Amino acid sequence: MLHDYHVHLESGPYTAQWIRQYYDTAMERGLSELGFSEHAYRFSQASSLLETSWADAAFHYDVHEYVHAVEQARQQGMAVKTGIEMDYIPSREAGIRAFLESVHWDYIIGSVHWIGDWGFDLPRFAHEWKERDVVDVYYSYYEILQMAIRSQLFDIIGHFDLIKVFGYRPPRNVIMTAVYESTIRLMKDYDMVLEINTAGLYKPAGQIYPAPEILQMAGKYRLPVIITSDAHCPEHVGRDFPLAQRMAREADITTLVRFEKRKRQYVPLLA
């Protein structure tokens, strides 16, 4: 009953034929369905919602072309869902809400990739890590992430500790446990779904999002969970799901969430 809801089509065209390549990999790996969640900033309707001209200068796709491609795949018998990964920008909540309400999604992933105009996880901006205080960056990230949770714009919080992506972590004498737990507790208060995202294994961080310590907190607070690959090409769909399943079970997580038209269904996490 596993399913992968964090999948990007960006390395190819928005067509049912391209979607089929992702879907075939999903079926080969025993998944029950596949959900696509393109980055909202790729679309002309949303690129201006960032606090930087980076996306506006690079991407001008039409969100309806993307949605139509997924619908075509569904009509061809593929078990696929239409999602979006939306950057949370504190000053742009009204615009984000308007964009999200313009399309009928199955689910919405909310993520923080930007601290002001700094795309902290983008390789082109990675040099800025050496110019910043790592502890300050972490506190800024979780402050914005908590604002994203309170906004109630999203169904799922993506890659909870993405801030570790390039391997920069606070010194050992700086304990972030209280920050992590207060954010997890806030997710519980606002009934948000946590993503277990395997892509971090292939980044300099070398670790699934979130870290085991945080996943244990998610189990403690009984957060609803999904397991995803954050695939950007067909061969990455469902990657390392057995490891993610094992980590989830070790955190006392026993159920996963499925979505349809932003309504949840809970399914058992099988051994």
pTM of the model: 0.97
Distance of alpha carbon 40 from alpha carbon 50, whole angstroms: 10
CATH architecture of 3-268: Alpha-Beta Barrel (3.20)
Q: Is the pLDDT confidence value at 271 over 70? A: no
Residue count (the chain): 271
- Position 2 scores a pLDDT of 92
Q: Are 105 and 262 in contact (CB under 8 A)?
A: yes
- 163-212: pLDDT as tens digits: 999 999 999 888 899 999 999 999 999 999 999 999 999 999 999 999 99
Domain ranges within the chain, ordered by starting residue: 3-268
**46 CB-near residues (< 8 Å, 6+ apart):** 40, 63, 86, 96, 99
Q: Is the pLDDT confidence value at 1 over 90? A: no
Q: Is the pLDDT confidence value at 129 over 70? A: yes
Q: Is the pLDDT confidence value at 108 over 70? A: yes
Q: Is the pLDDT confidence value at 263 over 90? A: yes
Mean pLDDT estimate for the chain: 96
53 pLDDT band (50/70/90 cuts)? confident
Instruction: Compute the average pLDDT of residues 52-67.
Output: 89
